[in-house]
Structure 1
Amino acid sequence: MSTFPAFFDTLSKLEIPADVARAWVMTDNAQVLFYEVHEGGANDDLADGAEWGLILEGTVEITIDGVTTSYGKGESYFIPGGVPNRKYNHPGTVGIDVFEQSDRFPDVVD
């Protein structure tokens, strides 16, 4: 069962890591991901554009410029552009991420 409404399936889907079940893009100026994580997993160390996120369910651990913080349901975070960061999504995490980069993840056409 999805946290998000069925009409999200009509939005452009994104090419994202296999541990994420579904994600969508919403704008040409930035990327907005509504995501659900199945198995959990970490991204590589990054230092790209700014990112804001909100955790709807579960927990994510984010290391920003060497400082690790856990965020849970209802908590938001901000990663400044160009600052080294790494994220670990625990299994079952559901959230919203907004990326300054409109091409953070390639768009996939069904």
Structure 2
Amino acid sequence: MKQIFPEPIQNLPEADIPVEGITAYLSQSETHQIVFMQFDKDVDLPEHSHAAQIGIVLEGKIDLIIDGEKGSYYKGDRYYIPEGIKHSGKIYAGYADMTFFNEPDRYSKKQDRA
């Protein structure tokens, strides 16, 4: 898959996200994280919840079920998942986004940078 993120983002630490087919770069703050994610495989997301999440779709498609409501999001769309709300979905190969997590420790940095 073609890398869509420019060099300054690629120079960020990689996020340790246990999902096959993802490349993710982590911008860390004391209060939140911003993760730049790109997928080269389809991924099924099991139902879960956490702190608030805001996503901006840069490429491709994601289907989400947020608090029982189904939606599909495409390039240019954004979605919001309030804190504690259960959600699940499917991410399709070719998807990329910028996601804000309203928590500072959602993901950690990968120990070995490839």
Structure 2 stretches of 5 or more lacking a match?
none
Superposition pairs of residues 1-110 of structure 1, within 5 angstroms: 1-16=2-17, 17-20=19-22, 22-28=23-29, 29-110=31-112
The one-character-per-residue Cα deviations of 1:17-59 (angstroms, maximum 9, x if unpaired) are 1121x11111222111111110110222111110000111111
The one-character-per-residue Cα deviations of 1:66-108 (angstroms, maximum 9, x if unpaired) are 1110001100000000011113111110111111122112221
Structure 1 stretches of 5 or more lacking a match?
none
Q: How many residues align?
A: 109
Q: Matched residues in 1 for 2:107 and 2:94: separation? A: 21
Q: Percent identity?
A: 26
Q: Matched residues in 2 for 1:45 and 1:93: separation? A: 19
TM-score, with length taken from structure 2: 0.88
Question: RMSD of aligned C-alpha atoms?
Answer: 1.2
Q: Matched residues in 2 for 1:49 and 1:40: separation? A: 24
